[in-house]
Structure 1
Amino acid sequence: MDKGTVIVGMSGGIDSSVTAALLKDQGYNVIGVTMQIWDGGCTPSNGVTQHACYGPGEEEEIAQTEKISRQLGIPFHVIDLRKEYKHHVLDYFRQEYLFGRTPNPCIKCNSKIKFGALLDNVKKSNISFDYFATGHYVNVAYNETSQRYLLKRAKDLKKDQTYFLFYLSQEQLKQCIFPLGQYTKEEIREMSRQKGFGLENKPESQNFVAQGYTSLLEGATLPGPILDTQGKKLGEHKGIHYYTVGQRKRLGIAAEYPLYVVAIDHTNNAVVVGPKEDIYSNRLIASELNWISIDRLSEPMKLSAKIRYVQHEETAWVEPLENGDIRVTFDNPQMAITPGQAIVFYDQDTVVGGGIIQK
């Protein structure tokens, strides 16, 4: 039975390859697509190609994806998104760091590129489809009462990626299929073995840029003072983009006790440091919000929240402010609340929404 045509965003890795295989086995007409985003920048000086989202290893990944597509007997297309990726991800990333913030490029790439520009350009290529699928470990459900699509945690909680997809809109969720949400990583590896993909031991991309993120900031170095929380100068930094809130190593300051980056003052080009207790806070302000399970936040809600991917959720009150931002007050102080990073809210296994930490 033909269930319709689904575009699968493929990368040459095990997750997206098994996604395509699963959907074909389920009766979908599957078309593989992959993004071309590397424009020749940030080439490792030692000639060693690392596994990264952006870098010279892309050519190898595209070839691998084409091989898997032939093996599955599905059409395959490469979509050139170099211009869009530079604008929405690379330029954004650079600007955020130069303003003393710590951005999350994966979240921006998902919302603007994978689930945005990629599909827009597929349509411009006259490739018709009904659904879009990726190898993310998440689930989607429809709530009849609220008449909203919901983003839910994956079966494999260790691989759950809902944190990275909180910006998806109702229209995007309506069109999405995430087959891996019902499986564990080990089950996916076994499926790959059964299909003969040979991807079971392939390392996953852990880096954003092949040569390290600072390669995107070359030429932007502007030295300035390292201050304590009272404004006393303790040393010099080589550029605020080399530092992030909560950082302890590579400060280059001798002190009687360990020092941590407490804040980054872009206006004065200063890095502020202090003892560990100074990097704890129970309150933050967030903006650039997106709500999934609700239309908007009209009154305070008690939710669980996480301020980074590798963190357990913490209980917090979330209050709407008159300017459209929200104030979040945690029951317990949180370590290194970092401007530029995402905060995502949960109600049990359902994503309520999220935003970007401002302060």
Structure 2
Amino acid sequence: MKDVGFDTATRRIALGMSGGVDSAVSAAVLMRAGYEVVGVTCLFTDDEKSRAAARDAAAVCELLGIEHAVWKCSEAFEREVVGPFVDGYARGLTPSPCVSCNARCKVPQLLAAADELGCEKAATGHYARIARLEESGRFVVKAALDASKDQSYMLSQLTQEQLERLVFPLGAATKADVRVLAADLGLPVADKPESQDICFIEGDHRVFLEQRGVCDEPGTIVDAHGTVLGRHDGLVRYTIGQRKGIGIAAPEPYYVIGKRFDRNELVVGFKDETLIDFVTVANPNWQAFDALAEPLDCMVKLRYRSTKVACTVHSCDGGSVEVRLISPQPTTAPGQHAVFYLGETVLGGGMIVEVGTAALSASAR
């Protein structure tokens, strides 16, 4: 396997610039490597926050003496990211919009802008690396050298066609390095704070969902055996694994371990009932190979901030896979993504559609 580094044979490159410090420093790094950089700010929403980000990006480009372009893509963002997020919650999922956004909106729109601007390559400020497998020639994402900032999980849905055209200038950098370089260059965004996880929601996501018409009807709280314990205020108000705010008194804390949208039931259990044995992943995107030919022993992350754990991945009918965890793990939620690793290399990943909890499985029999 060989890390894909800078290749300035094609000198002109489109860099996605969000107005933050990471993309600003990426521009400087690419310029030092010999690229002709064009800063591209994708406007995913039509609001003052996006326009302010575009102004910050333009100020950086002016300081660095590079071209800046604004690419309007709010319709694609609504279609590919916001709409599926709302629909997912309405169907009982807990979506992870940033993962799908990279592959379905952010990178495709940046590459479309690159084509328009005469750039064969595109770059982003993600903390990750790209490598090429020597035997197959396939492209894979690798973890950043700074494990605390690694965003490889968020890039697990990128396709071969996308990876072939991408450059990640910050793959070998730390956040401290980036801040120092930004200050040394006098960039106006050197001290700009980190952006929030879900960029299109200000405040409580439940208010956003209500505004989008997602009903939030009260219902019953039950244990894994179906015993009614109380009432809930609406299923979208609760998160799988939640402990506080359930509103049921007991000798030990209850946790949310499931949601039954067909019955409008919130399922709770004690801590030992929160552990899961397997998850089912629908139609995973494989980067390291075309398809899963045989059971795969690897590591998996069940949430962005979770640690990798050992598992065995088995093919199922219809293109899905079952991920059998070597040891029980804290529960995750359908709608989150499972991402598979071998060492630092992303093998692939996909959306979790089923969570195997021993307590819930027993209650269903």
Q: Which residue does the alignment assign to 1:166?
A: 156
Partners in 2 of 1:184 and 1:207 — Cα distance? 19
Q: Which residue does the alignment assign to 1:72?
A: 64
Partners in 2 of 1:207 and 1:146 — Cα distance? 35
Check if 1:105 corresponds to 2:87. no
Q: Which residue does the alignment assign to 2:363?
A: none
Tell me, yes or no, if the aligned pair for 2:283 and 2:321 is still in contact at 8 Å: no
Q: Which residue does the alignment assign to 1:351?
A: 346
Q: How many residues align?
A: 342
Check if 1:233 corresponds to 2:228. yes
Tell me, yes or no, if the aligned pair for 2:14 and 2:110 is still in contact at 8 Å: no
Q: Which residue does the alignment assign to 1:282?
A: 277
Q: Which runs of 5+ in 2 are unaligned?
A: 1-7, 355-365
Partners in 1 of 2:222 and 2:187 — Cα distance? 54
Check if 1:323 corresponds to 2:318. yes
Deviates more, 1:219-228 or 1:69-78: 219-228
Partners in 2 of 1:221 and 1:287 — Cα distance? 27
Partners in 2 of 1:39 and 1:231 — Cα distance? 46
* Structure 1 letter corresponding to 2:52: E
Deviations 1:41-69 (A, max 9, x none): xxxxxxxxxxxxxxx42222111111001
* Structure 2 letter corresponding to 1:309: Y
Tell me, yes or no, if the aligned pair for 2:114 and 2:121 is still in contact at 8 Å: no
Paired residues for 1:213-252 under 5 Å: 213-218=205-210, 219=213, 220-252=215-247
Q: Which runs of 5+ in 1 are unaligned?
A: 41-55
Please list every run of at least 4 consecutive aligned residues from structure 1 whose deviation after the TM superposition is greater than 6 angstroms: none
For residue 263 of structure 1, report the CA deviation from its aligned partner: 0.5
TM-score (norm: length of structure 2): 0.90
Partners in 2 of 1:2 and 1:287 — Cα distance? 39
Tell me, yes or no, if the aligned pair for 1:224 and 1:238 is still in contact at 8 Å: yes
Deviations 1:215-235 (A, max 9, x none): 321142222211111212222
For residue 5 of structure 1, report the CA deviation from its aligned partner: 1.1
Q: Which residue does the alignment assign to 2:133?
A: 143
**For the aligned residues, what is the CA RMSD?**
1.5
**Structure 1 residue corresponding to 2:22, chosen from 15, 31, 34:** 15
Partners in 2 of 1:2 and 1:60 — Cα distance? 34
Tell me, yes or no, if the aligned pair for 1:90 and 1:216 is still in contact at 8 Å: no
Aligned-residue identity in percent:
37
Partners in 2 of 1:116 and 1:266 — Cα distance? 34
Q: Which residue does the alignment assign to 1:50?
A: none
Partners in 2 of 1:160 and 1:207 — Cα distance? 14
Partners in 2 of 1:293 and 1:71 — Cα distance? 40
TM-score (norm: length of structure 1): 0.91
1:212/1:288 CA distance change after superposition, 3 Å: farther
Deviations 1:221-255 (A, max 9, x none): 22221111121222222221111211111112222
Give the secondary-structure state (helix, strand or coil) at the position aligned to 1:181. coil
Tell me, yes or no, if the aligned pair for 1:3 and 1:27 is still in contact at 8 Å: no
Partners in 2 of 1:121 and 1:27 — Cα distance? 21
Partners in 2 of 1:12 and 1:39 — Cα distance? 15
Give the secondary-structure state (helix, strand or coil) at the position aligned to 1:277. helix
Tell me, yes or no, if the aligned pair for 2:42 and 2:109 is still in contact at 8 Å: no
For residue 260 of structure 1, report the CA deviation from its aligned partner: 0.7
Check if 1:36 corresponds to 2:31. no
Partners in 1 of 2:135 and 2:242 — Cα distance? 45
